[in-house]
Amino acid sequence: MTKDTTEIEIHLLLEALYRKYGYDFRQYSEAHIRRRLMNRLALCGLQTISEMQSRVLHDREFAAVLLQDLSITVTEMFRDAEFYRAIRQSVVPILKTYSFVKIWHAGCSTGQEAYSMAILLQEEGLYERTTMYATDFNQRALDQAREGIYANEQMKEYTANYQRSGGREAFSDYYTSNYNMAIMEASLKKNIVWAHHNLVTDSVFAEVHMIMCRNVLIYFNSDLQSKVQHLFRDSLTHGGILCLGSKESLRFSGLAEEYIELDKVQKIFKKKYPGGE
C-alpha cells in the first residue's frame, strides 16, 4: 500500500521530536496525533508538516507548543460520578484495612482528579494515612495542579458531579472563592506529591496500593497500552487496585488473568496475590 505524504511527514516529525527532546509520541493513536498536528498547521502559518518538523528541530519554543497540543489535558472533578460511588463502595473498605496507603495518579493533568480523590478520602477518614503521587509529563499542567486554582464558573459543574457521586458535604467547604477563582483547601494538598513522570519513557515510579490512570491509555496504540499496563502491574502491591477510564480495559495487555474484576463497568481491578485471590 502506498502511504500518503502526510502520514510519512507525521512519522518524521514525531521522530524529530523524540530524538531532539526525548518526548516519544511514536506509539500514540495516529488519528489523534494527525488531528492535533493538522490543527496546529492551520494555525501556525506553515504549509506542510515537513516545515513544522524543521521548525521543531530549530525552535525550542515551537516544540513546547507542540507538546501542549499533543497532551490533551481535558479533565473534571468527579468525572463519571458512578466511578466515585464504586470507589466508596468497593475500594474504600479495602484501603481501610491498611495502616498507610500509597496512591499513584498517572496522567493527573491539572489535578482535578487527584483533588476529587483527596476529598473522598478525607470524608472516608483515610486521607491522613494516605500519600498520593500525582504525575504527568506535562509540566505546565502539573504547575497548575500544584497551585490548585480553578475558574469559579467550573465549580458549578464540579459541585453537581460531586453530589451525583454520593458526596454529602457542602462542596464549597473544599475551596475558597476569590474573585472568579476557586482555591482548593490546603488540607487537601498536604499529602499530595506532584511529580513529572513520562509513562512512555520512565520506569516504575513507586510501589503503591492503588493506581488511577484514567483517559490516558485511550490515546495510546495497543502495543503502548500493553507496555504501560506492565509498568502498572509492576508498581502495584499484591491486592493493589487499578482504576482505568470507563472506556479503557486490560484487553491488550495480556495481564487480565493477573487481576480480579472488582467493578466491570467502572473498570476497577484488584491485582491477585501470588497463587490466586
Partner 1 sequence: MIYRAIVIGASAGGLHAIKTIVSALPSGFRLPIAIVQHLSPLTDNYWISMVDKLSAIAVKEADEKEKLEAGTVYIAPANYHLLVERDETLSLSIDPKVNYARPAIDTLFESAADVFRQQLVGVVLTGSNSDGALGLRRIKECGGLAVVQEPGTAEAGYMPEAAIAATQVDYILPLEKIASLFISIHQQTL
Binding-residue pattern over the window 3 to 42 for ligand SAM, x denoting contact by CB under 6 A: ----------------------------------------
Stretch 130-159 residues interacting with ligand SAM (CB under 6 A)? 136-138, 141
Residue 236: phi, psi to the nearest 5? -85, 140
Dmax (CA) for the chain in angstroms is 60
Position 239: which residue type? G
Residues forming contacts to partner 1 in the complex (CB under 8 A) are 6-7, 29-32, 34-35, 72, 74, 215, 218-219, 221-222, 225, 247-249, 251-252
Member of 113, 236, 243, 263 binding ligand SAM (CB under 6 A) = 113
**Site size for ligand SAM (CB under 6 A):** 20
The least CB distance from residue 116 to partner 1, in Å, is 16
Q: Which residues of 164-191 are buried (b: 16+ CB within 10 A; e: fewer)?
A: ebbbeeebeebbeeeeeebebbeebbeb
The least CB distance from residue 114 to ligand SAM, in Å, is 9
How far apart CA 114 and CA 127 sit, in angstroms, is 12
How far apart CA 241 and CA 268 sit, in angstroms, is 7
Partner from ligand SAM, partner 1, none binding residue 17, C-beta < 5-8 Å depending on class: none
Stretch 169-208 residues interacting with ligand SAM (CB under 6 A)? 198-200
The least CB distance from residue 197 to ligand SAM, in Å, is 6
Whose CA is closest to 91, among 77, 103, 80? Answer: 103
Whose CA is closest to 140, among 224, 216, 69? Answer: 69
The least CB distance from residue 109 to ligand SAM, in Å, is 3
Partner from ligand SAM, partner 1, none binding residue 161, C-beta < 5-8 Å depending on class: none
Partner from partner 1, ligand SAM, none binding residue 221, C-beta < 5-8 Å depending on class: partner 1
Whose CA is closest to 221, among 68, 30, 77, 38? Answer: 30
